Amino acid sequence: MDYQNRAGVRFGGGGVAGYQETNAARRERLRQLALETIDLSKDPYFMKNHLGTFECRLCLTTHANDGSYLAHTQGKKHQTNLARRAAMESRRGAQASTAAQPAAVSQSQIQVRKNIVKIGRPGYKVTKIRDPETGQLGLRFQLKFPDIATNVNPRYRIMSAFEQKVEVPDRNYQYMVIAAEPYESVAFKIDAREIDDSPGRFWTYWDAPTYTIQLFFR
């Protein structure tokens, strides 16, 4: 399909434009912009049906025009279905990994990871805490994952300054890294003090959509 040579919209035509007209022009401008940056011919879910309207093969929805389809792909329903499909494919990949061909397996796992569409960073809150009895200082991390993929639990990992590759290593800091697909992983830079791992002093709690991690420094 040729998206380049479509009838354009007149911009800045002068005169008094009505509110409706302005909105329509804005929509059209965004549509043109999206068409320039997104190649629908490479979208496996985009389909033109025999009625000349468009369908999303993932969500089984119909759309009057390609712009409306594009708007749909940015919406919650489509994103949720994409995340669900990615989770399903990653489960399939995990099953395949029990087969006895390590080389082929790692290849398929790499492909699965590419299919995950990241949907941005989670909302978060970090609170400094102090144990009233021991006087120990600590941190409580609370993150919100309302659109986490089905059957996915958030995971954390504490990384030293020398394990991470994002910043110049500084031995005074370590990182609390939290992952929950399809969200982008986030890292919190914290003091490189020893974390108290005695019973009950370090815990995580997943009560969807909120993931909480609490720690005390020794």
Q: Does 31 bind Zn ion (CB under 5 A)?
A: no
In the bound complex, what is the minimum distance in angstroms from residue 55's beta carbon to Zn ion? 9
**What is the spatial distance between Cα 55 and Cα 46, in angstroms, rounded to a whole number?**
6
Segment contacting Zn ion by CB under 5 A, of 32-40, 51-59, 134-142, 144-152: 51-59
Tokens of 141: 């991390």
Total number of residues that touch Zn ion (CB under 5 A) = 4
Among 46, 66, 78, 176, binds Zn ion (CB under 5 A): 78
Among 47, 59, 116, 137, binds Zn ion (CB under 5 A): 59
Segment contacting Zn ion by CB under 5 A, of 21-29, 58-66, 152-160, 199-207: 58-66
Q: Does 83 bind Zn ion (CB under 5 A)?
A: no
Contact between residue 160 and residue 195 where contact means Cβ atoms under 8 Å apart? no
Contact between residue 129 and residue 139 where contact means Cβ atoms under 8 Å apart? yes
Residues with Cβ < 8 Å from 52, sequence gap 6 or more? none
Exposed / middle / buried, residue 192 (Cβ in 10 Å: 0-12, 13-18, 19+)? middle
**Binding residues vs Zn ion (CB under 5 A):** 56, 58-59, 78
